[in-house]
Structure 1
Amino acid sequence: MRRLGHALAGLAALVCVLLSLALLGIVVPRAADRDFPPAGTATGRTAVYLAANPIHTDILLPATPEMLARFGFLARDGLPLDHPDLATIVVGWGGRAFYTQTPTWADLTMDAVWRSVTLDRSVLHVSLGGRVSEEQPGLLRLDLSDAAFAALVGFVEESFEPGADGTPRVLPGAAYGAFDRFYEARGRFNLLLGCNTWTAAALRAAGLPTGLWSPLPPSLLWGLRLHAPVATSS
């Protein structure tokens, strides 16, 4: 019983430490990589969105002609960029095993969990989306100047691991359906530096300060609202 008590006390202490770190990760700011003028009529303005579920965030880019040209490799890999309902390009970064093997929680395996807890290769998931409804739960709008938006897109593009021809390398046979693909990505994944910390880094590249550490969607979103209220006010 004494050993059990010590184990429970140790577990409780660990939980308290993690909760304290998570709280500090929200309230302590992490500066943007560079400053951009606020979005407005003088500098141009582009709306992008963050889509969050309980464990993951995606960045929704507008499917403008310019973006479709820059992501033209998606058509090469079988995605219908001429679809009449296409309005957004949805991008997320994550661990290869967990991301590619777990389209639903019912598909979760111990291998995917173990690789996420330790260290895994990373992938980028790119999918085609329709029009955005701002009433959708878990959706946050960010208003960026044209320069900030260009920096965000540049960060996303630099996250792809290119093949011999210089274009992103698709993972053959890895997709959830007809409107998405997985690509090799730069960087390694684990639970402490995972998908949401990548999203936070992308936003800092676009001139938005975040919380110091954003391991989960709530910590990322709360940190943005605290440290970048102008961009998240609409």
Structure 2
Amino acid sequence: MTPFLRALGRGAAIAAALPACYLLAALILGLLPANRDARPAAAGVPVYLDSNGVHTSLVLPAQTAAADWKAQFPPERLRRSDRFGGAPYVAIGWGSRAFYLETRNWSDLTPGKTLAALAYDRSVLHVEYLWQAPANAGLLLLAPDQYARLADFVRRSAATDAAGLPRWLPGRHYDDNDAFYQAMGRYTPIQTCNQWVRDALDAAGARTALWAPFSQPLFWHIGH
């Protein structure tokens, strides 16, 4: 076998092993806790984790002393602000612009869009106003100071204009109750939508996974 073919074979073996190494690292670091000694607050601000099995969002009270999300993400930018302007909850998710804006349904997913998302894609925030928290969402309570840190993390995730307000993407919606905003950071296999939620919980000092590129590890540590 020529040196070229040997090198090609080694490269192929390494490429084949990378997905397995990625999944193993996600499992191990997902099981290991950050903020190991943190315990859920006995009372405080309810924070919900809502997941479709792939993507996780934070579901937060629309208005508290620490954060007025209606001022940050005005309901007037919804298609039906008359129906959802008074909603008491807001769901906020961070993720790949290509995934969010061009793959509303799994049938919209193409290899090109997948590669675009994994190749250091730009990010957006998806903001939805809800009349109630999702029935199957995970729940944790954060003390007021913890919630203030989480809210600050979320605010800093939005790209802002000269007035310091999140940059809205006009005309981008899934339904009548949502809007999109430009976000900070790039989507990569390391920094995923679920990792953003993990980082928000870590910023609050809540117990969470050391690394959570997938949604499941976020729920393993709730209630500990």
For this structure pair, what is the TM-score category when the shorter chain's length is used for normalisation? 0.7 to 0.9
Determine helix, strand or coil for the equivalent of 1:197. Answer: helix
Q: Specify the alignment match of 1:216 in structure 2.
A: 214
**1:39 pairs with 2:38:** no
Report Cα offsets for 1:176-205 as digits up to 9, x if no partner. Answer: 122111101111111221101110000011
Determine helix, strand or coil for the equivalent of 1:173. Answer: coil
Kindly provide the amino acid, as one letter, of the partner of residue 150 in structure 2. Answer: L
**1:74 pairs with 2:78:** no
Q: For 1:5-84, list aligned pairs within 5 A.
A: 13-31=17-35, 39-40=41-42, 45-64=44-63, 69-72=68-71, 73-78=73-78, 80=81, 83=84
2-side partners of 1:65 and 1:143: how far apart?
A: 14
Report Cα offsets for 1:154-213 as digits up to 9, x if no partner. Answer: 111111110122111111221112211110111111122110111000001111132221
Which of 171, 174, 182 is equivalent to 1:173?
171
**1:182 pairs with 2:184:** no
Q: CA RMSD in A?
A: 3.0
Q: Specify the alignment match of 1:232 in structure 2.
A: none
Task: Say if 1:65 and 1:80 are closer, same or farther in 2 by CA, change over 3 A.
Answer: farther
Task: Say if 1:156 and 1:84 are closer, same or farther in 2 by CA, change over 3 A.
Answer: closer
**1:119 pairs with 2:120:** yes
TM-score under structure 2 length normalisation: 0.83
2-side partners of 1:144 and 1:201: how far apart?
A: 15
Task: Say if 1:114 and 1:21 are closer, same or farther in 2 by CA, change over 3 A.
Answer: same
**1:150 pairs with 2:152:** no
Determine helix, strand or coil for the equivalent of 1:71. Answer: helix
2-side partners of 1:143 and 1:68: how far apart?
A: 15
Determine helix, strand or coil for the equivalent of 2:139. Answer: strand
2-side partners of 1:110 and 1:14: how far apart?
A: 19
Task: Say if 1:165 and 1:111 are closer, same or farther in 2 by CA, change over 3 A.
Answer: farther
* TM-aligned CA deviation for residue 11 of structure 1: 6.5
* TM-aligned CA deviation for residue 132 of structure 1: 2.5
Does structure 2 conserve the Cα–Cα contact (< 8 Å) formed by 1:97 and 1:115? yes
2-side partners of 1:76 and 1:164: how far apart?
A: 20
* TM-aligned CA deviation for residue 77 of structure 1: 2.2
Gaps of 5+ in 1: 230-234
Aligned-pair identity in percent equals 36
1-side partners of 2:111 and 2:161: how far apart?
A: 30
Determine helix, strand or coil for the equivalent of 2:205. Answer: coil
